[in-house]
Amino acid sequence: MTEQEILQDALIATKFLLSMNNSFGMECSNKPLRDLIESQHKQISKHNFEIFESMKKAGYYPVTVAPAKDLEQAIKMHSQMQQDLEEKLN
């Protein structure tokens, strides 16, 4: 296997783990276990980002830079969604 294939497999695996971890964590009613799942989610997410950065640096995962205006719009949209959700939960 090439380095690129190994990194692609690792990235796919961490995405899968994050998805499964997220699903399990949302349905977990035991607080200590839920805390452990959240901790693992954070660690897996960190590894996922490190793999992504390695791929990007090697040219295996090309990205385009979004204009600042688009970033601001995305941040505003997600912030509003979070606020709406918190209001509905309270």
Q: What is the pLDDT of residue 17?
A: 95
CA angle 45, 33, 35 (to 5 degrees): 50
Mean pLDDT over 77-90 rounds to 90
Residue 58 pLDDT > 90: yes
> What's the pTM value of the predicted model, to 2 decimals?
0.75
Amino acid at 74: A
Mean pLDDT over 34-58 rounds to 95
* Residue 50 confidence class, pLDDT cut points 50, 70, 90: very high
Q: b/e for 11-50, b at 16 or more Cβ within 10 A?
A: beebeebbeebeeebeeeeeeeeeeebeeebeebeeebee
Residue 53 pLDDT > 90: yes
Instruction: Give residue limits of the domains in the chain.
Output: 3-65
Q: What is the pLDDT of residue 56?
A: 96
Whole-angstrom distance, CA of residue 59 vs CA of residue 79: 32
User: Across the chain, what does the average pLDDT equal?
Assistant: 93
